Structures are given as C-alpha cells and as structure tokens.
Amino acid sequence: MADLTQAPRPIGLVLRGIKTPWALSVAILLAVAVLDPANLGEVIRFAGAALLHTGRYILFAVLLLSYLKATGAEVMVARAFEGREVRMIFLAAVFGGLAPFCSCEVIPFIAGLLALGAPLSAVMAFWLASPLIDPPTLLITAGALGWPFAIGKAVAAVALGLFGGFAIKALRGAGAFASPLKQAPRRGCCGCGTPKATAPVWAFWQDPARRSQFRQEFVSNGLFLVKWLTLAYVLEALLVSYVPADLIATVVGGEGVLPIVTAALVGMPAYLNSYVAPPLLAGLMDQGMSAGAAMAFMVAGAVSSIPAMAAVWSLVKPQVFATYLALGITGAILSGILFQMI
C-alpha cells in the first residue's frame, strides 16, 4: 500500500490549487466527464459558445479599462468631491459607475477622501454606486443579459448612490455620523492613498511608462476576465443542465414583490464575482427567475459581498457600517421592484 505521507504534493497544496478559476473549471468538467459523460460535450459546447459570444465585450472592456488606468483617470473621480454638497453627491454617484479602480484601491481612496474632509454623504454616494457598475461590468452584463438589463443596472447604480448620498445628508443634518472613521487611513494594497492631484494624460502613448502600464493592465485584466467568465459559463451550463426549472420558479419566480425581496436577501451573502454573476443570472432567468428578482440579487450582492463588507467594517464605525448595509438592501429591493414594473 502506498504511503500517503510520501505523496509529492501535500493534500493542502492540492486543495489550494483547485481554488483558482482555471482549476475549478477543469475540475468541474472532469466531474461531469466521470459522473455524466454523455452530457460533457453539451456542457463544453454551451460554455464555449457563451464565452465566444462575450469575446467582443471582453476585448472592448479590457481596452477601455487599460486606457483609463494608463491615463490616470482617477483624477476625474477626485474632482467629483469638490464644490457644494448636493453637487458632490450627484457627481460622486455618476463617477462611481465610471471609476477604474480595483477592489483594493477603492477603500484607501475613500479613506483619503474622508480624512481630507469630504462629506460622508458624497463619499457614500460613490461607495454605493462603485461596486455595482464599471465599464467592464457594464459590457459583460450586456453580453450575458442584454443591453436593457445592463442599462437598468447602470441606472440603478447611480440611483442607489443618490439615494444613499441624500439619506446620509439628511441624517447628518440631524446630528448623526459626526466622526465616521474608526482611525486615520493608511496606504492601500495598490499603493494608493489620498486622490492624486495631477491631471489625466489622455495621450498616454507618448509616455513610455504609461505605455508599459497600458500593456500590463491589458494582459492582467484580460486574463482576469477570461478566467472568471470561463468559470461562470461552465457553472451556467451546469445550472441549465441539472437544476430543475420548477425549483427556481418556486423560489424566485413570479411577478410579485416577495420573489424580489427573497432574491435581495439571498444575494447579500451568496453573491459571486461581478463578472461571474451575469452569466449565472442569465441561466436562472431562463429557468424562471423574474427580471426584477435578478436585478435585486445583483444590486444587493454587489453592495454586500464579503470583501466589500469586510473593507467597510475595517474603515468606518459600526453605525456607518449598519447604515451602509441598510441602504444597500433597501436600494436593491426598490431597484428590483422598479425594474420589474418597467
């Protein structure tokens, strides 16, 4: 009998290895090959066709995001927090959907704004809108769910930002949130802190360093999107093949308010990567999930994903954290109801 203690790779390393999107996709396909070999070809065909259909959106999204990063467009976002409070709330909600930040860059950026004295109302507007939509997410959502849903999500992002911003403004007027931060902000994992003061360089190709950054962003973001979307479409293929449509329709189907509320509550803890969610929601909608429930699930999950909640908790005081979640779930339910009505 073989001695397992002498295995070339410890079990822990193997388990860590299958946590990557590529490895998970391969592991799922191998499981289908073993458990249901007759369906393997259909699963691969479905996932491959869906990925090919989304390819043009991936390419454009990666080019756009790389351009925004190479030009230093973060400055445009910082400008949204200058001027009168009402104007700041409107601009912050709009720029929240355009910000080309990675998830770890948003937190030190917001911490820097609060430390510089930016009003919590405008920061909250940006904070609620930013996780919901950005150029790549908009295009991936359009590819998976269609432009009406993608535009609806973008409108919901801005509306949620405005809703949160003006709600905080009203609460601050009543004396709440005088000191929102737990402690002074530190530099983030991407090396960013307070907003940069330099202007964007739109003709980035004239600067060798910016050209290099463009290439790095193009490769890294391209691989990121492809690996996550490959996993997403493999999962969608499994969903369509093995999850009964009646089950989906029973839980989140129908046209009433209850399925929308249920989807929002389920979406809060169960949300997936924002690039994985649209293909899976497309499968759920094919199985009977209503459009309003899908919108509520996506909005609630983006605001309350575990990384987002952990970052908010680490940065602000508990009452601000609780308000953030309350605004997010309320806005998700309202977004789903309004989208269903439209």
Q: What whole-number percentage of the chain has pLDDT above 70? A: 76
User: Is pTM, for the whole model, over 0.75?
Assistant: no
Across the range 159-174, mean pLDDT stands at 93
Task: Print burial letters for 173-182: b (CB count within 10 Å at least 16), e (below 16).
Answer: eeeebeebee
Q: Distance between CA 252 and CA 332 in Å, rounded?
A: 15
- Residue 153, amino acid: K
**First-residue to last-residue Cα distance in the chain:** 66
Decide if 96 contacts 164 (C-beta within 8 A): no
Predicted confidence (pLDDT) per residue in 250-276, tens digit = 666 667 788 899 888 877 765 555 667
Using 50, 70 and 90 to split pLDDT, how confident is the model at 116?
low
The pLDDT of residue 132 is 82
pLDDT of residue 10: 44
- Lookup: tokens for 60: 């454009």
More confident residue, 114 or 24: 24
Do the Cβ atoms of 192 and 108 come closer than 8 Å?
Answer: yes
**Nearest-5° Cα angle at 291, 288 to 293:** 85
Position 185 scores a pLDDT of 47
Given a cut of 90, whether residue 233 has pLDDT beyond it is no
Dump pLDDT digits (tens) for 4-49: 344 444 444 444 545 678 888 999 999 999 999 999 999 999 889 8
Instruction: List the one residue out of 26, 329, 80, 320 whose CA is nearest residue 195.
Output: 80
Residue 215, Ramachandran bin (φ over 0: left; ψ between -120 and 50: alpha; else beta) = alpha
Give the pLDDT mean for 169-184.
82
Tell me which residue of 191, 159, 211 sits closest to 74, measured CA to CA: 191
- Residue 193 has a pLDDT of 46
Per-residue pLDDT at 326: 92
Show the tokens assigned to 139.
Answer: 């295009």
Q: CB count, 10 Å around CB of 145?
A: 22
